[in-house]
Amino acid sequence: MIITFLDKFSGFHTVTLYDRAGGVHSDVEVPDAGDAIEVPQDMPQSAATYESEDVTWASGTTQASLNSMWNSQGKPHSDEHWAYITVGGQERYMVALVPTYGLPGDYVDIYVTNNGTETVYPCIIGDSKDIWVDVGYSWTDGVVYGHESGGQCNIVEVMSELSNNSSDWPIIGGTGLLDRLKGVTKIVNGGNISQYPDGPVGLDGNYNTKSSGSVDSESGTIAGAIGSLFRSFWVFLSTVFDNLTQGRDDATVLYSFKDDEEGSDYSISPGGIQTQEEATELQNLIEQQWLHTQVHSNGEYQNGPFAKYWSKPYNLLTPFQCTWWANGRASMYLELYGTKYKKYPTQMGNGGEYYAINQENGWFEYGQTPRPNSIISWSGGSGYGHVAYVEGVTTDGIWISDAGSGKSWRGVHKIGLDGHEFDGYSLNGYIYLDSPK
């Protein structure tokens, strides 16, 4: 995926998506954090529909990750059986929307007006409504706002805590909830939970607004630009998995990254490494296409599509040292999908000094909370410390990739959420590459 300089600073961006039948759809425009989509008020809307959240979702998908979070929180739901999860202290209802408003894992605020009263529903996209296999509803501006339903547009699909075999489904229609959700006037995107695990950003009223097929980028463009870069990183980084929800008839629309030079086509999750299967796939990709060497051999980096990040003169560090890997991995992210920096700012320091050097120079935000797309640093051991790259964070651990002692590539593996890696080492903290100062 090629993102031009102009794309980065104009709000909204394009991605390639797969429908549930395996069809490929290029240049689909989706919003970033701080982008808003206004719904034409003369467009007829039908009542909301619903699907069950209490099912098994395809392994490795954002949908599965959100479902796991929902289950871990005790399957919370409203009196009207609308499932929600709590993020950053706020309850966010789970909905399915077409990609026009965002992708699975995106926070959204849904503005609804009924009988002259406006209500804002804080939500998160738990599933994507397929607009290719199912019939999408577009208005005179050509934008697909939802599904066609009796000649009207169905925008919101409620994710219910009721199971598919529940006899209580008629209750939802009887509560009036579905009718109350048909006066949608605007939907605002607050970024993806994979990048903002503590809650949404950009929902401050200062929006890039799309209406009638155009973008008014008078305000909020920098926030939109940063959101675009964050999401693009996940598009590149994550691993291959099945993009079809097994045994279900709903959409699992996923990101796709196409490496034209290598002829590879990946259907991937935006949430970083989540499972052992994904970690294995990424490790194989690294070993086959990035390292081109045996797992435990020492020597120079050998060719491959991303050779320069671990080769001289771009990377002057000693091959298979922890700093050699982390510095190259960080530079790879910053150049391909970075913000203000196109390369990690220094190659000075041992692994245990990375955190303090960043603090002293004020390059990136830092802290004690693990986040994907960060550098993790430890002090101790022989005095040199250690450093690694965070590939993903789950509810029970941190997936990292690293090398060590100039002797080996240590692979992609999981450590505890406390950041403990080796006895005799103490955690310094995390350097957040997606948050330059």
Per residue in 279-319, pLDDT (tens digit) is: 887 777 777 666 654 333 444 555 566 677 888 888 899 88
- pLDDT value of residue 209: 81
Nearest C-alpha neighbor of 161 from the set 233, 218, 85, 103? 85
Pick the range with the lowest mean pLDDT from 69-73, 160-164, 291-295, 307-311.
Answer: 291-295
| pTM (two decimals) | 0.53
Contact criterion met (CB below 8 Å) for 226 and 201: no
% of the chain residues with pLDDT over 70: 77
Nearest C-alpha neighbor of 420 from the set 375, 354, 383, 376? 376
% of the chain residues with pLDDT over 90: 38
| CA 102 – CA 76 distance, rounded (Å) | 23
| CA 100 – CA 34 distance, rounded (Å) | 14
- The rounded mean pLDDT for the chain is 77
Mean pLDDT for 251-257 is 29
Mean pLDDT for 77-89 is 93
Pick the range with the lowest mean pLDDT from 75-84, 85-94, 222-231, 401-410.
Answer: 222-231
What distance lies between CA 219 and its chain's CA centroid? Answer: 24
Quick one: DSSP state of residue 43? S
Pick the range with the lowest mean pLDDT from 131-145, 196-210, 267-281, 367-381.
Answer: 267-281
Pick the range with the lowest mean pLDDT from 117-126, 197-206, 215-224.
Answer: 215-224
pLDDT 10s digits, 256-277: 222 222 322 222 233 467 788 8
Q: What angle do CA 170, 244, 260 make, to 5 degrees?
A: 145
The class that CATH gives domain 284-436 is alpha beta
- pLDDT value of residue 414: 93
- pLDDT value of residue 202: 87
| CA 4 – CA 135 distance, rounded (Å) | 32
pLDDT top residue among 377 and 116: 377
| CA 359 – CA 355 distance, rounded (Å) | 6
pLDDT 10s digits, 88-144: 899 999 999 999 999 999 999 999 998 889 999 999 999 998 888 888 898 887 889
Q: How many CB atoms lie within 10 A of CB 166?
A: 14
Q: Is the pLDDT of residue 422 over 90?
A: no
| Segments making up each domain of the chain, as ranges | 5-237, 284-436
Half-sphere exposure of 118 (CA within 13 A, CB side): 7
